[in-house]
Amino acid sequence: MATYDFPGDLVSAQRELDVVAAELTALLEALPYSVEPLEGWERPKDYWYSGGVRARPASPGWTDEQQDQVAVLRSRRLALAAMVVTHPYWSTLTGETVSDARTALKHLDQDVGEERRTA
């Protein structure tokens, strides 16, 4: 894969985006499945859909604090994604190089880790 001379602020924004996205994913996985309180439910035994979730326990919903945490992380993720996508660096590249460079940026830390393991 080609190497690119990414500006420091672009690399920092991508790394922070990765961290914020991971934090948001972890938070959403830890929260109850429903934002609003919901009663538990179970599909009838002969329900036509045989795959997926057959039952859910009651959900207490999310607290105001949890909703605020999710909103802050989603907002930060959106701002960082916009910063990465609209960075002036991309206008210095042409054609398929832009797509390759964006992919390289997303996998920058993975590539560094692989180089360390193989060296």
pTM, to two decimals: 0.80
Q: Is the pLDDT of residue 112 over 60?
A: no
Separation of alpha carbons 7 and 59, rounded Å: 45
Q: Is the pLDDT of residue 84 over 50?
A: yes
Separation of alpha carbons 48 and 65, rounded Å: 38
> By the 8 A CB rule, do 24 and 70 touch?
yes
- For residue 1, the model assigns a pLDDT of 59
Tens digits of per-residue pLDDT, 67-80?
999 999 999 999 99
Q: Work out the average pLDDT over 98-113.
A: 84
